[in-house]
C-alpha cells in the first residue's frame, strides 16, 4: 500500500473544493434544503399536528446524498476525465489513495453539514441517542454515496455518459424504500442499501423504538470497504495510478 503525502492530498482537496463551488454543483444542496422547507410549510398548513414525520426527514437526507454525493461527484470526475485533468494528476505522482481521500473529504464534509441542518429545518426533534445514530448513519451513507459517485465518474466516458448512468441509478435508490412491504425480495434489497437503512432508522424513530441497529452499521461498513477497493482497482486499471 502506497503512502499518502499530505501536500498532494491537500492539493487534490483544493481542486475538488473549487469544483464544488462551480454554479453547476453549488446549487445541489439547495434541492434537499428547499424540499425540507416546502414539506415543513405544507405540514404546517395541511396537517393538524403541524409536525413532519421522520420519513420526510429521511427522504430529504436521501435526496441530499443522491444530489451531492452521487450526482456532483460523478459529474465532476467525468468532467476531469473529459478535460484530461486526471492525466495531469497522474504526472504529478498522485496515487489512488491520495486521490481517493482528496476527492471524498470535501464532498463528505458538505453532506454532513447539510444532513445536520435538515432536522432543524424540518423541525423534527430527536433524543441524544437518536441524534448520535442519525449522524453516524447519515455520515456512513454519505460516504457510500460519494464513493458510488466516484465509481460512476471513473467508469463514464464523459459528463453526458455520467448523467445517463447516474439518473436512473438515483431513481432506483429513491424508490426502493418506498416499495417496502410490496414483496419480501424488495424488502431485502432495500435493507442492503443506504437509502433503506436511513428509512428504517426513520421508521424506528417514528415508533420511539431504539434506533441503533448493529446490522445496519455492519452493512454500511462492508459496502464502504467493497466500494473503496473497487474504485482503487478501477483507478489503477484506467491508467491513473502514479508509478512512484
Q: What b/e string do you get for 1-11 counting C-beta neighbours within 10 Å, with b at 16 or more? A: eeeeeeebbeb
Which pLDDT belongs to residue 65?
92
More confident residue, 71 or 49: 71
Average pLDDT over residues 32-58: 76
pLDDT tens digits for 160-173?
888 888 888 888 88
Q: Which three cell numbers stand for residue 94?
A: 498522485
Q: Considering the chain, what is the average pLDDT of its residues?
A: 82
User: In terms of Cα–Cα distance, which of 152, 132, 149 is closest to 73?
Assistant: 149
Which pLDDT belongs to residue 55?
83
Which pLDDT belongs to residue 47?
58
With pLDDT > 90 as the criterion, what percentage of the chain qualifies? 19
Which pLDDT belongs to residue 244?
47
pLDDT tens digits for 212-244?
778 889 999 999 999 999 988 887 776 666 554
In angstroms, the CA 171 to CA 115 distance is 20
Q: Please report, for residues 8, 86, 99, 122, 242, the alpha-carbon distance to residue 3 in angstroms, rounded to integers and kept in the order given.
A: 11, 19, 12, 43, 12
More confident residue, 188 or 141: 141
Q: Is the pLDDT of residue 67 over 80?
A: yes
Amino acid at each position: 500500500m502506497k503512502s499518502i503525502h499530505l501536500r498532494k492530498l491537500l492539493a487534490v482537496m483544493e481542486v475538488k473544493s473549487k469544483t464544488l463551488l462551480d454554479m453547476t454543483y453549488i446549487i445541489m444542496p439547495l434541492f434537499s434544503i428547499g424540499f425540507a422547507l416546502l414539506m415543513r410549510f405544507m405540514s404546517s398548513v395541511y396537517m393538524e399536528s403541524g409536525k413532519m414525520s421522520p420519513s420526510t426527514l429521511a427522504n430529504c437526507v436521501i435526496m441530499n446524498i443522491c444530489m451531492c454525493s452521487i450526482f456532483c461527484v460523478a459529474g465532476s470526475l467525468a468532467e476531469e476525465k473529459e478535460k484530461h485533468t486526471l492525466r495531469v494528476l497522474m504526472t504529478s505522482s498522485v496515487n489512488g489513495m491520495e486521490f481517493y481521500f482528496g476527492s471524498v473529504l470535501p464532498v463528505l464534509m458538505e453532506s454532513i453539514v447539510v444532513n445536520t441542518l435538515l432536522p432543524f429545518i424540518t423541525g423534527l426533534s430527536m433524543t441524544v441517542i437518536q441524534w448520535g445514530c442519525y449522524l453516524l448513519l447519515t455520515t456512513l451513507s454519505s460516504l457510500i454515496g460519494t464513493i458510488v459517485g466516484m465509481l460512476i465518474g471513473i467508469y463514464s466516458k464523459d459528463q453526458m455518459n455520467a448523467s445517463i448512468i447516474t439518473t436512473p441509478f438515483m431513481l432506483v435508490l429513491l424508490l426502493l424504500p418506498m416499495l417496502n412491504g410490496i414483496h419480501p425480495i424488495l424488502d431485502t434489497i432495500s435493507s442492503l442499501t443506504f437509502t433503506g437503512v436511513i428509512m428504517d432508522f426513520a421508521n424506528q424513530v417514528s415508533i420511539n423504538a431504539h434506533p441503533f441497529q448493529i446490522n445496519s452499521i455492519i452493512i454500511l461498513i462492508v459496502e464502504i470497504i467493497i466500494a473503496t477497493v473497487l474504485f482503487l482497482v478501477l483507478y489503477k486499471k484506467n491508467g491513473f495510478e502514479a508509478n512512484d
